[in-house]
């Protein structure tokens, strides 16, 4: 999980820094991606202001009789929007190959530094400082979404975009890639298998009602996604209406939606810089909320696992070091080939590896640690047993569904592409290496643990490696109840599986009986005579301490 969080934290902050860049560039009277008369535009550029198509200067010199025909051809075949050319030729200045890094885009590099500084300052005191910031980063985007939603549904053609959004495409239900993308989206939005949930939960009270929290978060997540869809597609419907094209032609995904399609739609609105500022400010807040969790996961893992006195006392220095390393590793993503590497990391480093990790986690917890042990742990912390539905999901439904998604995703695998660019084989090998690097840690550590476990044979070592550590259980003594209660004394506390509890009690009773018998034998062998002056004399035993 730490490896996955590292990969995501590196490239995710690059996305945030691009949002920062667009936010700063929106502080103007006219958005720079509105028209086609800029130095970076090509002859194929065709913008739309209001309802009037506008070609760039090279086409404007054509005769009036040719303008209509050229406009029709450009709009239907070669048309590239001003926002697309601004994204490709100015913001990214994209190269022709993933191996051609070119130069570092200094404006993007500067925004990347700003992004990391903001993240560090918000985490300078750990969850104490980030927890306060999250109150704003998690709630204010809803205000922006509501403002954009009210504006969007009042536009012409908005209903067409909403109908496109709500109309299901049943033919894609059998497409494994759709299910794989859906699973990846859930893992991203909920943070499953990242390690962030475990990190943040470790700061909760021991008896915190995480069952209630999980229900609220899941419902809120789904509702927010649906709500955001209305906001996005109402604007895209308006854009399609102005361009006189179907909504499917303007709908995009990934960076194309956030930095091409939606910015172009915003240019069609009155006071477009204001809407652009609100939109990209919302993206920044949403991204920072995720980045806080990713960085805190790495810092907490370092502090907890290494745990030296110096590291514990200087957690701020650890946070700063992680931020600096993350910034340096993100520099290659700000080059002219950076977008290729960003998409490569997004598709391989943190995609199906999340599915594999979550599947292994379900199997290990339910079938190696034991579902009964886990259910008892949950009951001990919540005060009530988990519902039957959750028990069935944890044991059967979730592992099966995740396994099927993984299998069909592998079967229908297609190499990654970016527009018309096909990634070379060596870059795909790097992508698979990143994906495997987060998964291979699991079997490597398992073999290491087995090799260090006691036992004469491999089977004995495996059996001992799968047992809980003697000190496994709640960290505080006051929380060690039930099967974690002290068995003999406060100095010898062991967490035992439920089946071993009764056997352990019987063994203790037998040991007590044997001790009593031994004591009686010793009393018979060693005769101790107590003198009247309080001294002790012995017969047949030269050692009084025997």
Nearest to 97 by CA among 304, 324, 373, 340: 340
The CB density around residue 84, as the number of other CB atoms within 10 Å, is: 21
Q: How far apart are CA 255 and CA 418, in angstroms?
A: 11
Report residue 385 as tokens. Answer: 């047993």
Q: How far apart are CA 435 and CA 210, in angstroms?
A: 30
Report residue 317 as tokens. Answer: 């220095």
Binding site membership for Na(+): which residues?
Answer: 189, 221, 286
Q: How far apart are CA 295 and CA 196, in angstroms?
A: 9
Q: How far apart are CA 496 and CA 473, in angstroms?
A: 10
Q: How far apart are CA 453 and CA 463, in angstroms?
A: 9
Binding site membership: which residues?
Answer: 189, 221, 286
Q: How far apart are CA 138 and CA 546, in angstroms?
A: 70
Is residue 6 exposed (0-12), middle (13-18) or buried (19+ Cβ within 10 Å)? buried
Nearest to 17 by CA among 93, 121, 88, 111: 111
For every residue of 70-131, which 3-state class applies, written as one string? Answer: HHHHHHHHHCECHHHHHHHHHHHCCCCCCCCCCCECHHHHHHHHHHHHHHHHHCCCCHHHHH
Q: How far apart are CA 310 and CA 57, in angstroms?
A: 64
Report residue 361 as tokens. Answer: 């986690």
Nearest to 211 by CA among 438, 482, 65, 394: 394
Instruction: Specify the 3-state DSSP secondary structure of 525.
Output: helix
């Amino acid at each position: 999980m730490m490896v996955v969080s590292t990969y995501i934290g590196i490239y995710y902050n690059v996305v945030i820094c691009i949002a920062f860049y667009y936010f700063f560039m929106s502080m103007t009277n006219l958005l720079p991606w509105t028209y086609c008369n800029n130095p970076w535009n090509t002859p194929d550029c065709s913008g739309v202001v209001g309802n009037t198509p506008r070609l760039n200067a090279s086409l404007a010199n054509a005769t009036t009789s040719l303008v209509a025909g050229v406009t029709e051809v450009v709009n239907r075949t070669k048309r590239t929007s001003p926002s697309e050319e601004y994204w490709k030729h100015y913001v990214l200045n994209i190269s022709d190959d993933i191996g051609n890094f070119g130069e570092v885009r200094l404006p993007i590099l500067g925004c990347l530094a700003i992004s990391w500084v903001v993240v560090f300052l918000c985490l300078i005191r750990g969850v104490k400082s980030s927890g306060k910031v999250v109150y704003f980063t998690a709630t204010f985007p809803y205000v922006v979404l509501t403002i954009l939603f009210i504006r969007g549904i009042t536009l012409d053609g908005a209903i067409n975009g909403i109908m496109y959004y709500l109309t299901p495409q049943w033919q894609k239900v059998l497409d494994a890639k759709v299910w794989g993308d859906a699973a990846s989206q859930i893992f991203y939005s909920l943070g499953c298998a990242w390690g962030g949930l475990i990190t943040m939960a470790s700061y909760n009270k021991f008896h915190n009602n995480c069952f209630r929290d999980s229900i609220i978060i899941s419902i809120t997540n789904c509702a927010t996604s649906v709500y955001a869809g209305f906001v996005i597609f109402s604007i895209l419907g308006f854009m399609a209406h102005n361009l006189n094209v179907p909504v499917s032609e303007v709908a995009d995904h990934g960076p194309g939606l956030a930095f091409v399609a939606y910015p172009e739609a915003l240019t069609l609105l009155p006071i477009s810089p204001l809407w652009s500022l609100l939109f990209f400010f919302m993206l920044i807040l949403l991204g920072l909320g995720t980045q806080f969790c990713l960085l805190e996961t790495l810092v907490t893992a370092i502090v907890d696992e290494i745990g030296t006195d110096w590291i514990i006392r200087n957690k701020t220095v650890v946070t700063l070091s992680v931020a600096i390393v993350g910034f340096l590793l993100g520099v290659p993503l700000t080059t002219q080939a950076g977008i290729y590497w960003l998409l490569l990391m997004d598709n391989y480093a943190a995609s199906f590896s999340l599915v594999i990790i979550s599947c292994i986690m379900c199997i290990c917890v339910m079938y190696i640690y034991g579902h009964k042990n886990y259910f008892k742990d949950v009951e001990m912390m919540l005060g009530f047993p988990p519902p039957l539905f959750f028990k069935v999901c944890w044991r059967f439904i979730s592992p099966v569904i995740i396994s099927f998604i993984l299998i069909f995703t592998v079967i229908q695998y297609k190499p990654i592409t970016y527009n018309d660019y096909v990634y070379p084989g060596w870059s795909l090998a790097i992508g698979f290496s990143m994906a495997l690097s987060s998964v291979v840690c699991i079997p490597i550590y398992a073999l290491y643990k087995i090799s260090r476990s006691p036992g004469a044979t491999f089977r004995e070592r495996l059996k001992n490696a799968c047992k809980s550590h003697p000190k496994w259980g709640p960290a505080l003594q006051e929380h060690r109840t039930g099967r974690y209660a002290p068995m003999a004394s406060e100095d010898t506390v062991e967490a035992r599986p439920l089946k071993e509890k009764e056997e352990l009690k019987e063994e203790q009773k037998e040991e007590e009986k044997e001790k009593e018998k031994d004591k009686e034998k010793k009393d018979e062998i060693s005769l101790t005579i107590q003198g009247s002056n309080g001294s002790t004399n012995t017969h047949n035993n030269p050692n009084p301490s025997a």
